[in-house]
Amino acid sequence: MSQQSYTIFNFNNLVYGIKTIFVEQMFYLPEVTPVPESPPDIIGVVNVHGNIIPIMDLNLRFGYPSSGDYRLSDSIIIVNFNNLQVGIIVNDINQIINISPEEITVKASYEKTLIKDQEERFIDEIATKKEQLILLLNLEKILNYVESQDLKIEQDSLKQNNYNLYTKDNFFMPEDNENHNKSSIFCPNATIYERDILQQRAIDLSKVVRNKKKKQTRALAVIILNNELFGIDLELIREFTQISKVTPIPCTPKHLVGNCNLRGEILTVIAIRGFLNLPLKVFNNNSQIMIVEIQGIKLGITIDDVYDVIFLNPKKILSNTNKFSTINHDYLEPTFRTS
C-alpha cells in the first residue's frame, strides 16, 4: 500500500493528522456563533460564504479541560467527507507530509494513557514520523457524529447576539465534562481589540459573491518542481503518494514515465517538466506522485515535493511574469505571490 498525504496540526500540545484530500479550507479563527441545544464539543457555527458550518473543539470532544479562551493565532480547518462539513479548531497548522503504512501503528498497541476513552471513537491509528507521535483522525466518524446531532440552524439566527446556555446531550457528552457549563458568548474573556478582530474576520468570511462570477478565492496545492513553486487546482487532485515501481512503456515520448499499480488500479504516470522547459529528472523509488483526475481520467504526475495548500487571493496575481522567461507559459495560468 502506498503513502498517503496528511495535513498535520497541533492542538492542546498534541499532534494530529487528517488526510489532505478531505481538507477544504483553512483560515484564522473568526468569531464563532454559539447555538442552543448543541452538544458541548460543538462550540457554535461559522458562516463561510453563506454556508453554515459547525465548529468542533477537540478538547471538549476528548474530555480535556477547555476554558473557551481561544487565541487570535488559532485556525479553523474545514473538512468535507461525502458532502458533510465540519470545522476543527487548531492551534497551529504545521505542514503536509506523506505517511507510509510502515509508519502507522494500530492504536490498540498503545497504553490507555495515550488515548482516552473519548478519543478512541474518532482516532483511527497512530503514526510515528521522525520520533514524533501523530494521532490520525477518522473524519468519517467525526462528520457522522456531527450529522447525528441534527443541528437546527437558521441563517437568520446568526444575527442574534445572545443565546441560552447549551443543553447537554448525555449520550455524546464527554464524561470528564459532565458538569461543564459554557458561556453563551464566544471567547468571553477576549479584549475589545481581540473581539474586533474576531468579528471582522467573521464578517469577511460571511461575504457571499452575489453575481454569477466564480468565488474570489481558489484552493491550490503548491508543488515543487526543480526548485520552482507551481499551483494546481485542489479540486483536480485526488492524493499525493509515493510509488516504488513504475513499468516503462517502450516507444513512447519522454514525458510518459510508464504505468503503475495504485491499489489495484493501473495508472499512467507522466512528467510535465518537459512541457515547462524544465530539466527532466530520472524516476526513482523516492519520487513523489500527484494523482489527478480530469474529466474522469486519472493520471499520476511526478513532482519533487508538496509545499503547501493555499487559498489564492486574486490581488496576489502578477500581471508581469517576464522574470520567468525560461518557463513555457503556454501551460501556465497567471503567476501569484505566496506571501
What is the per-residue pLDDT across 184-202, written as a single tens digit (0 to 9) for each?
A: 688 888 899 999 999 999 9
Which of 16-20, 62-66, 108-112, 222-226 is predicted with the least confidence, judged by mean pLDDT? Answer: 108-112
| Final residue belonging to a domain, choices 184, 206, 228 | 206
Phi, psi of 96 (to 5 degrees): -110, 125
Cell, residue 74: 488559532
Query: How many distinct structural domains can be found in the chain?
Result: 2
**Angle, alpha carbons 314-320-323 (nearest 5°):** 125
pLDDT of residue 306: 81
Q: Which helix (H) or strand (E) holds 258?
A: strand 256-262
Same domain? 177 vs 36: yes
- CATH code of the domain covering residue 141: 2.40.50.180
Same domain? 186 vs 228: no
Is the pLDDT assigned to residue 255 strictly greater than 90? no
Query: How much is the average pLDDT of 304-322?
Result: 68
Is the pLDDT assigned to residue 170 strictly greater than 50? no
Query: How much is the average pLDDT of 257-267?
Result: 83
Is the pLDDT assigned to residue 211 strictly greater than 50? no
Alpha helix locations (H) across 2-158? 58-61, 117-120, 139-148
Closest of 159, 190, 128 to residue 52, by C-alpha: 159
Residue with the larger pLDDT of the pair 162 and 259 = 259
Q: Which helix (H) or strand (E) holds 193?
A: helix 192-206
First-to-final CA distance of the chain: 36
Query: How much is the average pLDDT of 319-332?
Result: 56
pLDDT of residue 239: 79
Q: How far from the centroid of its chain's Cα atoms is residue 84's Cα?
A: 14
Banded model confidence at residue 317, pLDDT cuts 50, 70, 90 = low
Query: How much is the average pLDDT of 299-304?
Result: 89
Place of cell 510535465: 272
Same domain? 114 vs 157: yes
| Other CB atoms within 10 A of residue 289 CB | 24
**Contact assessment for residue 43 and residue 53, using Cβ atoms and an 8 Å cutoff:** no
Percent of the chain scored above 70 by pLDDT? 71
Is the pLDDT assigned to residue 319 strictly greater than 60? no
**Contact assessment for residue 86 and residue 55, using Cβ atoms and an 8 Å cutoff:** yes
Which of 244-248, 295-299, 306-310, 318-322 is predicted with the least confidence, judged by mean pLDDT? Answer: 318-322
Same domain? 138 vs 277: no
Same domain? 124 vs 224: no
Q: Which amino acid is at 199?
A: Q
Is the pLDDT assigned to residue 157 strictly greater than 50? no
In the chain, DSSP finds a helix count (H) and a strand count (E) of 4, 21
Banded model confidence at residue 183, pLDDT cuts 50, 70, 90 = low
Mean pLDDT for the chain overall: 75
Q: Is there a domain that residue 212 lies in? A: no
Same domain? 100 vs 226: no
Is the pLDDT assigned to residue 294 strictly greater than 80? yes
Same domain? 190 vs 226: no
Which of 41-45, 168-172, 298-302, 324-328 is predicted with the least confidence, judged by mean pLDDT? Answer: 168-172
Same domain? 228 vs 146: no
Cell, residue 51: 454556508
pLDDT of residue 251: 87
| Other CB atoms within 10 A of residue 304 CB | 15
Query: How much is the average pLDDT of 108-137?
Result: 69
Structural domain including 98 reads: 4-206
